[in-house]
A and B are shown apart, each in its own frame.
Chain A
Amino acid sequence: MSKLKTVFNFELLGMIQKKSLLVTTAIMCIITLLLTTIPTFMIWFGGEGAEEELNENGEAPEEFTLVYENDELRESLSPVLGEETYATEEELRDAVQNEEVASGFVVEDYNRYTYITYDSSNFSAEQMSFEAQLKTLNEDRLFDENGIDSQQVREIMGQPIEQETVYLGKDAGSGTAIAFGVLITMYLLILLYGSNVATSVAREKDSRTMELLITSSNPRILILGKVGAVGLTGILQVASIILFAVIGFMLNKGNYPEFLIDMLQGTMTMDVVLVYILFSVMGYILYLFIYAALGSLVSKVEDVNSAVTPITFLFILAYFAATFATNVPDNTIVKVTSFIPFISLFTMPIRYMLTSVPIASLLLSSAIMVITVALFAALSIHIYKFGALNYGNRLRFKDVINSFKK
């Protein structure tokens, strides 16, 4: 036990001493803090400018470039749509052509107009706004002509329907963003620290430090200490980023739109957090063990990439399954994969957060996960021991299988 502590402390020292790790963590923490402060920034910088443009009704006044085809239209519409800008359609066309104005409207009738613009990309809110206003004017005119009180009609049509949705299960919509955030974090964490642990093992072989290690300690202790230390470093890194996210959120909470706060607080209940931690940590450890074992099969650091390709491939598949799961958490494929440890680290917490998962399923999946981690840890220790003593050519899968026969 004391030797395990020795190996763990030494490996942890090695990780923490890495300047690159410290710098990236610091940068990521700062970026996280800035990201969580965005709502406040938006109020600071966006707020004043927006206010100036608003008129009494709280709407931005729009000035349309207009040509009325006849006097009747001009007379009845100009109080609402605005004064005529150009006398004829040709003048408007020339103005648009010469880029004096970006676009303009030729009002041909109460229910017909031509929109003149230079590039189609100029199609914008302006046209929609114009059309909406023209439509209202036309409707009001027709109501009046038929002796209907347009005011009354508007009131009737504007009656809102009050509704409330009661989720007896879980509200999938609001959790998706968080599921995606955790998914990306775990994806990066496992890829980054997986290759880190594999490289670390291969480097020990490459530099022949392994000769000293394997003769002074037990391979089981060496791999446990290394996976533990590298794993903890990754967890600490993520934890510090989450800490900064929480600090940023707490500081700027007042400036967050209500729906965002609901989204964050509504889905992240304690049990969801626990399920996330359990599956993420176990899955993370599972992958780290496999990466460490594969790293021990090569004798040169530059061969690590090719050695870890199979597990990276499997992991990327798991990631895609999980991205699929965030969209349709109730799908059968998602349900099945939430019991396969290599994928369930992603899919089970997503299912648990977004849908209702029976407690028995959760326990079963957890048990499968724990057993798999233990099994693969034992397997990795064996491969590591076998790999650590074999230099030279890259070991093949066949060699590893043969080593079990003894």
Chain B
Amino acid sequence: MDLVIKDLNKSFNNKHVLKGISLTINSGQIFGYLGRNGAGKTTSMRILMDVFKGDSGSITMDGKEFKPTDHRIGYLPEERGMYGKFKVKDQLVYFAELRGATKKEAQHSMKKWAEEFGIDIYLDQKLETLSKGNQQKVQIAQAFICEPDILILDEPFSGLDPVNSKIFQDSLLNYIREDRIIIFSSHQMGYIESFCDDIAIINDGKIVLDGDLNAIRKQMGEGKLRLRFAEQQNLDFLAAYDYTIEREDVILTLPPTETKKSFIEGLFSRGIELTMFMDYLPSLQEIFIEKTGDKNVEA
């Protein structure tokens, strides 16, 4: 399955929130959707869930117009909460039914996911009587119930303790299938790097970067080297290059006039000893800051 968003625009009270965003989201993997607060992530997700319509643009699924009602969409919002005064099982079934499941399906699936997240013993309790950690598990289970074919996770790890976080990661990785689309939005770059193949970065309502994460890293690191020198070397020659220091490493940008080969030959001719020489791959955090830092925000 592939979900294609084309030239999507949305304004609120004359404020242009989404400025023609275009994205392709493939099934069978976890799609990382990044952006600073207020960049337009939630708005685009809400349009996908038909909370409101976009002003212009199109959304298609496998080439046909995307109708949210034809799909089961699981959603874990960033700011999340459920009914404190209701029993866990009643509200899990309720949310599943709201997404279009029958009562029977909902009850069956509710039990399955409650077991998966270890909250089956709390099903008959009111949510407010559970610990914060267990309440979070209920909220996560809610997103998975009735096996949605589109799963949207907005900052799923926020507030999770390491144990719950691990349980969730395992469930998420097991959930990947060719007929499922998973959209993962987070500010915790480490998770995106470890889960996601494709990413998109939205900044000020525009997609500023999208594609395969490894390809992006390679592309953005092109012409840069990561070097580590043996101790007590004369590094005066570096003054002729554009470089930054990252702990023990030097990240150096090769000028267009030089190749890796000529550069390393130059080092050897100067008698400089190296302990590491490799292509530089920027971290997602670096890419993110470069693409969304304040200098990129329109005044």
**Chain A interfacial positions (CB closer than 8 Å to B):** 3, 6-7, 10, 13-14, 17, 204, 207-209, 211-217, 389, 391, 402
Q: Which residues of A contact B52 (CB under 8 A)?
A: 389
Provided the pairs A3-B98, A6-B98, A10-B90 are in contact, do residues A212 and B80 lie with their beta carbons within 8 angstroms? yes
For chain B residues 6-20, which have a beta carbon within 8 Å of chain A?
A: 13
Q: Which residues of A contact B79 (CB under 8 A)?
A: 208, 211, 391
Q: Which residues of A contact B81 (CB under 8 A)?
A: 207-209, 211
Provided the pairs A208-B77, A402-B13 are in contact, do residues A216 and B82 lie with their beta carbons within 8 angstroms? no
Q: Is the CB of A215 within 8 A of B73?
A: yes
CA distance in complex: A17, B90 (Å): 12
Mask of B87-120 contacts with A, CB within 8 angstroms, 1/0: 0001100110111000000000000000000000
Q: Is the CB of A216 within 8 A of B98?
A: yes
CA distance in complex: A208, B78 (Å): 10
Q: Does B49 lie at the interface of the complex (its beta carbon under 8 Å from any beta carbon of A)?
A: yes
For chain B residues 253-295, which have a beta carbon within 8 Å of chain A?
A: none
CA distance in complex: A6, B52 (Å): 22
Q: Which residues of A contact B99 (CB under 8 A)?
A: 216
CA distance in complex: A207, B83 (Å): 8
Q: Does B86 lie at the interface of the complex (its beta carbon under 8 Å from any beta carbon of A)?
A: yes
State the 3 A-B residue pairs at the shortest beta-carbon distance, nearest first. A208-B81, A207-B81, A211-B77
The smallest C-beta distance from A305 to any residue of chain B, in angstroms, reads: 20
CA distance in complex: A55, B91 (Å): 72
Q: Does B84 lie at the interface of the complex (its beta carbon under 8 Å from any beta carbon of A)?
A: yes
Number of A-B contacts (CB under 8 A): 59
Cβ-closest chain B residue relative to A391? B79
The smallest C-beta distance from A283 to any residue of chain B, in angstroms, reads: 29
Q: Which residues of A contact B94 (CB under 8 A)?
A: 6, 10
Mask of B60-82 contacts with A, CB within 8 angstroms, 1/0: 00000000000001010101111
The smallest C-beta distance from A90 to any residue of chain B, in angstroms, reads: 77
Picked from A211, A213, A389, A402, the residue with its CB within 8 Å of the CB of B98 is: A213
Q: Does B185 lie at the interface of the complex (its beta carbon under 8 Å from any beta carbon of A)?
A: no
Q: Is the CB of B82 within 8 A of A212?
A: yes
Cβ-closest chain A residue relative to B79? A208
Provided the pairs A207-B81, A209-B82, A211-B79 are in contact, do residues A216 and B13 lie with their beta carbons within 8 angstroms? no
Provided the pairs A209-B81, A212-B142, A214-B51 are in contact, do residues A14 and B86 lie with their beta carbons within 8 angstroms? yes
Cβ-closest chain A residue relative to B98? A216
Interface centre among B75, B80, B86, B94 (most CB of A within 10 A): B94
Picked from A6, A7, A14, A211, the residue with its CB within 8 Å of the CB of B83 is: A14
Q: Which residues of A contact B83 (CB under 8 A)?
A: 14, 204, 207, 209
Q: Is the CB of A14 within 8 A of B85?
A: yes
Cβ-closest chain B residue relative to A5? B97
CA distance in complex: A214, B77 (Å): 11
- 20 extra interface residue pairs, beta carbon distance < 8 Å, beyond A6-B94, A209-B82, A215-B73: A3-B97, A13-B86, A14-B83, A14-B85, A17-B85, A17-B86, A207-B81, A207-B82, A211-B77, A211-B79, A212-B75, A212-B77, A212-B95, A213-B98, A214-B51, A216-B49, A216-B73, A216-B95, A217-B98, A391-B79
Provided the pairs A215-B75, A216-B75, A216-B95 are in contact, do residues A208 and B80 lie with their beta carbons within 8 angstroms? yes
CA distance in complex: A360, B13 (Å): 46
Q: Which residues of B contact A209 (CB under 8 A)?
A: 81-83
CA distance in complex: A371, B86 (Å): 36
Q: Which residues of B contact A213 (CB under 8 A)?
A: 98
Mask of B234-251 contacts with A, CB within 8 angstroms, 1/0: 000000000000000000
Interface centre among B13, B79, B97 (most CB of A within 10 A): B97
CA distance in complex: A389, B47 (Å): 12
The smallest C-beta distance from B143 to any residue of chain A, in angstroms, reads: 9
Q: Which residues of A contact B86 (CB under 8 A)?
A: 13-14, 17
Provided the pairs A6-B97, A14-B85, A402-B13 are in contact, do residues A215 and B80 lie with their beta carbons within 8 angstroms? no
Q: Is the CB of A215 within 8 A of B82?
A: no
CA distance in complex: A10, B90 (Å): 8
Q: Which residues of A contact B75 (CB under 8 A)?
A: 211-212, 215-216
CA distance in complex: A212, B13 (Å): 24
Q: Does B46 lie at the interface of the complex (its beta carbon under 8 Å from any beta carbon of A)?
A: yes
22 residue pairs A–B, Cβ–Cβ below 8 Å: A3-B97, A6-B94, A6-B98, A10-B91, A14-B85, A14-B86, A17-B86, A208-B77, A208-B79, A208-B81, A209-B83, A211-B77, A211-B80, A212-B77, A212-B95, A212-B142, A213-B98, A215-B75, A216-B95, A216-B98, A389-B51, A402-B13
Q: Which residues of A contact B97 (CB under 8 A)?
A: 3, 6
Cβ-closest chain A residue relative to B76? A212
